[in-house]
Amino acid sequence: MAKYIHSMIRVLDEARSVAFYETAFGLRVAERLDFPDFTLIYLSNDEAATELELTVNKGRTEPYDLGDGYGHVAFSVDDVDAEHARLTAAGLSPRKLVDFAPGGQVIARFFFVTDPDGYQIEVLQRGGRYA
């Protein structure tokens, strides 16, 4: 059986991205691997065994084109209302809270926030499918 261990995104500014993911989701640098042309930064927290890998290509000055294939990364939290308020207070500009209720029954409560490079991140109320 395969084990899911990380997702990777390319970022322009290491310090800016590390600060965003620490403030927003409590992710801290687990390991940093520096190579001549690029740097890999693995971020994690105590909530999950998976990591987010940030790749910084040295010398890159233009933002990445996220194209139309990227969807989002998701995090679940114990209190989505409190997290929305916290991210708002931190100046991270989360979008509005949504009660997703196809057929009239709420199956998910969530909001999205955008990281410094334009990646969309979904923040879901923990529970049910999103435990």
Q: Which of 22, 47, 62, 122 is catalytic?
A: 122
Nearest to 49, CA basis, from 107, 108, 7: 7
- What is the distance between the alpha carbons of residues 124 and 131, in angstroms, rounded to a whole number? 9
Active site residue 122: yes
Q: How many CA atoms lie within 13 A of 49 on its CB side?
A: 3
The residues that are catalytic are: 122
